[in-house]
Amino acid sequence: MEGWSRFMDVFSLSYDDASPLNFVQLNFWIFFMVAIGVYTILDLSKKTKTRAFYIVSALAIVGVTGITFSATQSGFGNFEFKLTVFDGWLLFIAGVFFLSRFKEKFWVRSFFLTVISFFFYFKSSGLFVVLLGVSLVVNYFIGKKVFTSEKEETRKRILALGIVFNVLILLYFKYAYFFTEAFNTTFATNFEPINHFAHWANGFFGEGTFIERILLPVGVSFFTFQSISYSVDIYRKEIEPVKSFFDYSFFVTFFPQLVAGPIVRAKDFIPQIRKPYDLDNKDFSWAIVQIVKGLIKKIVLADYIAIHFIDHIAEAPEMFPGFVSILAMWGYSLQIYGDFSGYTDIAIGLSRLMGFNIKENFNSPYKAVSVADFWRRWHVSLGSWLRDYLYIPLGGSRRGGLGTYFVSTIIFIFLIFITKWYALIFVYLGMLIIYTYGWLFIKDFNRLVHRDMNLLITMVVGGLWHGASKNFVIWGALNGVALVIYKYWKKISPYEENKSGLSRFWKIFITFNFITFTRIWFRLEDDELPMQMLNQIVHHFDFSWTVFIEVISTYWSAFVFILIGFVLHWLPGAIKKGWELRFEKMTLPMKALSVALIIFLVYQTAVDGGKPFVYFQF
């Protein structure tokens, strides 16, 4: 009975903002098994699907007839029609199979998965599903209009309209409070953001129906970037718009990657929509390995070490010696990797089980030998998106235009306002003098200036994409400056081409510690906490073996998992590949037994409630 109650709860039309649907919940796996069950039957042969059609139709008729009609005594009798949510799902599935008999299979499949993805987003984000629906309709027609317009000027204007629409969604829902607060602080004003949509809706549905504070929709940064790339690729004539609205909706809303990425490109994903479902033993085994690996990263590494160690230090760094903050930030580098790459591993594995290939999003980032190498390995889908749709349009490494100078000036002014580090003015003036001298006396220096400015713009925007906070802007700017410095350093470094083990070790060590240093601004939400932690590290380092041993003994279990996590991360790829091949060669019962045992052990470390995926807030 409890199992049936849980099943009904998963598919109910209720949303619990305290426990949104996500990959580490049992509820999600109930949802996924039903979804993939119907999905795979839709792709069966016509003969098999005919039998399934009759079975599902019969179940729907029996279920709806037996459950929804109840007799009430009134005169000669009266029947009251009561359609439950479960009956609605039965009718929907029966309707899908009915359509599959008379409509083209791939259209029905897109329709089914679009509805399922919308439902998943509703269970993850509530009524923000309406915003997702509006975004889909607008961007679908923007794409078609860009393609059909003959005049280049018209195509540009329509594309600009689409980009502005998507950027405004981000600005309104994600950055309204941030920019308003920065403006108020700078100019001593007292403006307040207003949720106009909630205000209008409450006037229509009644006061209190919608919260009037502007809330951040889950995954808004991902589906807006995905929508922008679709229209831009059509404008560049790299793809043609999809003919079916459900194909486009399926591309944007595909539930494994909808709320936290990876950012999927239309040219990579859309051609797969019309392909027959195909899953061989190799793909099945690989997908299961990715899902299990993702659960281990999230539950064992990310959640456990965060709850049992990192959070204690990050909440009050001044209460601990400075060296403990360094240990915590090393641990946080592992936590954020386990959390985000764990999510994308699960998303990619689920997609493969459904017959779709999504590109790798992480490639052992802490094996990077430079900051540039790190950003080729970390969050690959975002990095490539920023490169193709921001860095290159600005001019890339070859040129710069008015846009480069305009955006650079805005960012420089913006950094001064939000950080109140007015000494930055002198830093900027010094940079201006250096660049002016180089422009006058050094050959090809103009191109280098444009490259540096475009890099800085891209990384600051990337930082701001992660969150509406000056800490994220600083984090992005630090990485941008590091990339600029590395561009010059690699030309004069005597170690750049050195392939020895010792040289590689030091490159990895320095890169990892720099990335960890910048994450002080990424992890600590309060604007003042990063400087508090840095002050504690610099002025109150206070290392002693006695305190070190006491810290290790107090948080010993977290340190065990941190050590295991880094060892596994730095293992050679060939060893990891060997484990995957061994799993692939197992019999199906052995695979099932192995997965069940691993998942059982994984959930022994789980903490009640766990922690939400970090990138849900982006």
Token duo for residue 59: 């179940």
Q: Is residue 122 part of a domain?
A: no
Mean pLDDT highest for which of 168-172, 330-334, 472-476? 330-334
Q: Is the pLDDT of residue 513 over 90?
A: yes
**pLDDT for position 610:** 61
| Residue 437 binned pLDDT confidence (cut-offs 50, 70, 90) | confident
Query: What tokens does 20 get?
Result: 């949104």
User: Is residue 350, in this structure, part of any structural domain at all?
Assistant: yes
Question: What mean pLDDT is predicted for residues 483-489?
Answer: 86
> Residue 119 above 90 pLDDT?
no
Answer with the residue of higher pLDDT: 268 or 93: 268
DSSP assignment string, 177-221:
HHHHHHHHHHHT-------HHHHHHHHHH-TTSS-SS--PPTTHH
Q: Give me the pLDDT at residue 70, please.
A: 45
- What pLDDT was estimated at residue 75? 41
Report the DSSP beta bridge partners of residue 71: 79
Q: How confident is the model at residue 414 (pLDDT cuts 50, 70, 90)?
A: low
Is residue 326's pLDDT more than 80?
A: yes
Question: Which of 13-17, 248-252, 432-436: highest mean pLDDT?
Answer: 248-252
Range of the domain at 47: 18-103
pLDDT mean across residues, the chain: 77
**Residue 612: how many other CB atoms lie within 10 Å:** 15
Say yes or no to pLDDT of 214 above 70: no
User: Is pLDDT above 90 for 330?
Assistant: yes
Domain annotation covers residue 444: yes
Q: Using alpha carbons, select from 307, 259, 332, 311 the residue that is nearest to residue 616.
A: 259
SS3 category, 217:
coil
In a domain, 108, yes or no: no
Asked if residue 422 and residue 320 are part of one domain, the reply reads no
More confident residue, 305 or 38: 305
Residue 76's pLDDT is 40
Whether the pLDDT of residue 558 is over 80: the answer is yes
Segment 397-415 mean pLDDT: 67
Residue 198 confidence (pLDDT): 62
Sign of CA dihedral 536, 611, 132, 381: positive
* Rounded percentage of the chain residues whose pLDDT exceeds 70: 71
What integer pLDDT is reported at residue 8 of this predicted model? 63
Q: Closest Cα to residue 255, out of 132, 361, 392, 435? A: 132
Task: Say how far apart CA 542 and CA 520 lie, in whole Å.
Answer: 19
Q: Are residues 322 and 352 in the same domain?
A: yes
Q: Does the pLDDT value for residue 292 go beyond 80?
A: yes
Tell me the per-residue pLDDT of 227-236, one tens digit each, with 9 for 90 and over. 999 999 998 8
pLDDT band (50, 70, 90) for residue 446: low
Q: How many domains does the chain have?
A: 4
Please state the rounded mean pLDDT for residues 279-294.
83
**Residue 401 shares a structural domain with residue 499:** yes
Task: Give mean pLDDT, residues 512-526.
Answer: 88
User: Which residue would you say has higher pLDDT here, 553 or 180?
Assistant: 553
What per-residue confidence (pLDDT) applies to 73? 40
- Domain annotation covers residue 536: no
For 79-88, 268-277, 510-519, which range has the lowest pLDDT when averaged over its residues? 79-88
Amino acid 518: pLDDT: 92
Which pLDDT does position 74 carry in this prediction? 41
User: For 23-37, 60-74, 259-273, 449-463, which range has the lowest pLDDT when averaged over its residues?
Assistant: 60-74
Higher pLDDT, 214 or 312: 312
- Of 73-87, 294-308, 355-369, 444-458, minimum mean pLDDT range: 73-87
Flag whether pLDDT at 353 surpasses 70.
Answer: yes
On the question of pLDDT at 274 being above 90, the answer is no
Same domain, 402 and 383: yes
> Which residues contact residue 205 at a Cβ distance below 8 angstroms, ignoring those fewer than 6 apart?
none
Which range is least confidently modeled, 223-232, 263-272, 394-403, 563-572?
Answer: 394-403
Q: Do 318 and 399 lie in a common domain?
A: no
Mean pLDDT over 30-47 rounds to: 66
Does one domain contain both 581 and 517?
no
Per-residue confidence (pLDDT) for residue 81, from 0 to 100: 46
Q: Residue 57: its pLDDT value, please?
A: 57
Instruction: State the pLDDT confidence band at 10, using cuts at 50, 70 and 90.
Output: low
Instruction: Using the predicted structure, report yes or no on whether residue 53 has a pLDDT greater than 50.
Output: yes
- Does residue 268 sit in the same domain as residue 149? yes
Q: Report which listed range, 75-79, 574-578, 585-589, is most confident.
A: 574-578
Residues 202 and 326 in one domain: no
Confidence of residue 563 (pLDDT cuts 50, 70, 90): very high
99-108, 307-316, 441-450, 517-526: least confidently modelled range:
99-108
CB 419 within 8 A of CB 474: yes
Is the pLDDT at 379 greater than 80, yes or no?
yes
The answer on pLDDT for 63 being more than 70 is no
In 3-state terms, the chain is what percent helix, strand and coil (to 5)? Answer: 75, 0, 25
pLDDT value, residue 472: 85
Task: Say if residue 303's pLDDT is above 80.
Answer: yes
Nearest residue to 583 (alpha-carbon basis) of 565, 561, 598, 567: 598
Q: Based on the domain organization, do 142 and 239 belong to the same domain?
A: yes
State the number of CA atoms in the 13 A half-sphere of 540 facing the CB: 14
Residue 295 or residue 332, greater confidence: 332
Q: How confident is the model at residue 516 (pLDDT cuts 50, 70, 90)?
A: very high
Q: State yes or no: pLDDT of 66 exceeds 70.
A: no
Is 127 domain-assigned? no
Lowest-pLDDT choice from 85-99, 146-160, 515-529: 85-99
pLDDT recorded at residue 477: 86
Q: pLDDT tens for residues 95-113?
A: 666 665 555 667 777 777 8
**What are the residue ranges of helices labelled H in 43-151?**
46-68, 85-102, 105-125, 129-148
Runs of H (alpha helix) within 524-587? 529-539, 545-554, 556-570, 573-585
Please state the rounded mean pLDDT for residues 87-93.
61
Q: Whole-angstrom Cα distance, residue 475 to residue 473?
A: 5
Whether residue 454 lies inside any domain: the answer is yes
**Shared domain check, 338 and 420:** no
Q: Regarding predicted confidence, which is higher, 486 or 431?
A: 486
What is the enclosing helix (H) or strand (E) of 466?
A: helix 445-466
Single out the residue of 436, 412, 435 nearest to residue 425, CA to CA. 412
Same domain flag for 143 and 77? no
Is the residue at 550 inside a domain? Answer: yes
pLDDT at res. 592: 76
20 band by pLDDT with thresholds 50, 70 and 90: low
**Cα gap 484→492, rounded to integer Å:** 14
What's the pLDDT score for residue 184? 72
pLDDT tens figures, 341-352? 888 888 888 888
| Residue 615 predicted with pLDDT over 80 | no
Please identify, among 225, 242, 273, the residue that sits at the C-terminal boundary of a domain. 273
User: Do 92 and 24 share a structural domain?
Assistant: yes
Answer with the one of 273, 303, 332 that is the final residue of a domain: 273
Whether residue 77 has pLDDT greater than 60 = no
Mark which of 490, 525, 560 sits at the end of a domain: 525
